[in-house]
């Protein structure tokens, strides 16, 4: 028999059974910690409580996280039978209705509408852990820096220390603080979250970003190495290894960076976009620093190829596909990706493309094809709007690196000097790496 029960964090769940809500709580906690088996736990939740709509919605969220056309279709199918009517006497009201609205908006490619529904859910129940996690992730996809922080700030008081979930919220908040350059508070919050739960991968990730942005490469590398036993089995592990690779790259340790790519980032030829993005971005950076990655790029491009048979879902993914195709010399395939992104219809993706995405595709395509002047023309004016495509500061830093390399290849000494001085003023520890980058590209 199903009924309304409360979850692990005290928020009501309609249609629940004891086994169903326990499995759903485990699934949500796995998503919060970036670890465990959220898909398997979600399946168990739905099997144990078929009338628990939030279980079906959660499964749809997981399908959408993959940012593929197949995932969108799967989510639409899962949501099709659920009732979004919030009037009295209907099956879904309150929290479930708002989550359903969010999931349907995400399925339709309107991430702003999805966050709006999730914010309403958080006003209704500030301890709605699922709404908080999904909302911050959507703000990440949207490149909405302030909301990335403030979605957690708005509910902090409802998550007092000592109550279940406190550490997870600290880790979520820490990442938002880091993306807003509040590095000291981010470090303090992330450290506290790790003290509460050493297996929570979110604060590890937040600290990795702090070390990256502050140029504390040796400290960051040592930290990730020391904590790796707690997160190396996480589905987020490849991304943490990617952060460690960035430290070595900026230290000029090219061989160690390549070893991390082979040993930890691409040891398993995953076709999840989460992993492919890291692989593409690292190979692109290695190429900028003069490494020969053509063989690895060809292998990666072959892994990406089957993912490109459907209409674009998220231009951030397609940008990284263009990187891999460009490095592999697949110029025609890169052109096809660009052409497909000229025909976008989903609101969020269309906006991102107009703001910066199409320029990024064209700029990186031009650089890979040996046209640095064209790359500069495409990239120089969109740095301030590039957040529209999503991602973190660390991920979008590849734009500045590519511009410096393009300026050096084009022989534009004035632009090289300006961009290099800008970079080292912002991050003094990057001075040697910047000079290495310039030299590697003939500057």
Give residue 129's pLDDT band: very low, low, confident or very high (50, 70, 90).
very high
Query: Is-contact 247 217, C-beta < 8 A?
Result: yes
Residue 151: which residues within 8 A CB-CB, separation 6 or more? 115, 119, 122, 132, 135, 136, 139, 176
Categorize the per-residue pLDDT at 363 as very low, low, confident or very high, splitting at 50, 70 and 90: very high
Q: What is the DSSP letter of 313?
A: S
Mean pLDDT on 395-410: 98
Section 273-296 average pLDDT: 98
- Position 85 scores a pLDDT of 45
pLDDT digits (tens, 9 = 90+) for 209-220: 999 999 999 999
Q: Residue range 50-59: average pLDDT?
A: 96
**Distance of alpha carbon 178 from the chain centroid:** 14
Rounded to two decimals, the pTM is: 0.96
User: Who contacts 260 (Cβ-Cβ below 8 Å, separation ≥6)?
Assistant: 241, 244, 245, 248
- The continuous run of DSSP H or E covering 249 comes out as helix 237-250
Strand partners, 16: 3
How far apart are alpha carbons 428 and 95 in whole angstroms? 48
% of the chain beyond a pLDDT of 70: 97
Q: Which tens digit of pLDDT belongs to each residue from 308-347?
A: 988 899 999 999 999 999 999 999 999 999 999 999 999 9
**Which residue's entry shows tokens 């739905």?**
46
Q: How many Å apart are CA 193 and CA 198, to the nearest integer?
A: 8
pLDDT value for 1: 53
Q: Give me the chain's average pLDDT, please.
A: 95
Which architecture, in CATH terms, is 1-135?
Alpha Horseshoe (1.25)
The answer to whether the CB of 323 falls within 8 A of the CB of 284 is yes
Q: Which residues of 74-102 are buried (b: 16+ CB within 10 A; e: fewer)?
A: bbbebbeebeeeeeeeeebeebbbbbbbb
**pLDDT band at residue 84 using 50, 70 and 90 as cut-offs:** very low
Instruction: Report which DSSP code applies to 353.
Output: I
pLDDT of residue 74: 96
Contacts of 302 (CB under 8 A, 6+ apart): none
């Amino acid at each position: 028999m199903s009924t309304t029960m409360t979850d692990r964090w005290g928020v009501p769940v309609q249609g629940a059974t004891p086994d169903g809500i326990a499995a759903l709580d485990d699934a949500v906690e796995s998503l919060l910690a970036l670890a465990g088996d959220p898909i398997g736990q979600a399946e168990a939740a739905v099997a144990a409580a078929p009338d628990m709509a939030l279980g079906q919605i959660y499964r749809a969220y997981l399908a959408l996280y993959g940012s593929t056309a197949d995932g969108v279709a799967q989510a639409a199918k899962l949501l099709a039978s659920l009732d979004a009517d919030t009037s009295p006497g209907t099956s879904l009201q309150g929290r479930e209705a708002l989550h359903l609205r969010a999931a349907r908006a995400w399925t339709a490619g309107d991430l702003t509408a999805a966050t709006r529904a999730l914010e309403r859910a958080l006003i209704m129940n500030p301890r709605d852990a699922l709404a908080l996690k999904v909302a911050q992730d959507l703000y990440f996809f949207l490149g909405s820096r302030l909301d990335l922080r403030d979605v957690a700030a708005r509910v902090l008081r409802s998550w007092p220390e000592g109550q279940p979930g406190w550490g997870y919220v600290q880790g979520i908040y820490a990442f938002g603080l880091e993306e807003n350059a509040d590095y000291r508070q981010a470090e303090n919050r992330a450290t506290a979250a790790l003290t509460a739960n050493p297996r929570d991968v979110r604060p590890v990730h937040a600290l990795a970003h702090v070390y990256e942005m502050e140029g504390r490469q040796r400290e960051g590398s040592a930290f990730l190495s020391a904590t790796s036993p707690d997160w190396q089995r996480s589905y987020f592990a490849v991304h943490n290894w990617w952060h460690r690779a960035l430290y070595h790259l900026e230290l000029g340790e090219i061989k160690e960076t390549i070893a991390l790519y082979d040993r930890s980032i691409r040891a398993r030829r995953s076709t999840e976009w989460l992993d492919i993005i890291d692989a593409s971005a690292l190979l692109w950076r290695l190429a900028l620093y003069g490494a020969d990655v053509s063989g690895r790029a060809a292998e990666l491009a072959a892994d990406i190829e089957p993912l490109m048979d459907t209409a674009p879902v998220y231009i951030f993914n397609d940008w990284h596909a263009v990187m891999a195709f460009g490095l592999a010399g697949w110029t025609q395939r890169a052109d096809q990706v660009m052409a497909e992104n000229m025909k976008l219809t989903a609101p969020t993706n269309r906006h991102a493309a107009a703001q910066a995405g199409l320029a990024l595709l064209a700029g990186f395509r031009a650089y890979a094809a040996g046209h640095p002047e064209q790359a500069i023309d495409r990239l120089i004016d969109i740095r301030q709007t590039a957040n529209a495509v999503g991602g973190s500061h660390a991920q979008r830093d590849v734009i500045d690196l590519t511009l410096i390399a393009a300026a050096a290849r084009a022989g534009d000494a004035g632009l090289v000097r300006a961009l290099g001085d800008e970079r080292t003023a912002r991050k003094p520890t990057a001075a040697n790496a910047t000079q290495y980058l310039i030299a590697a590209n003939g500057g």
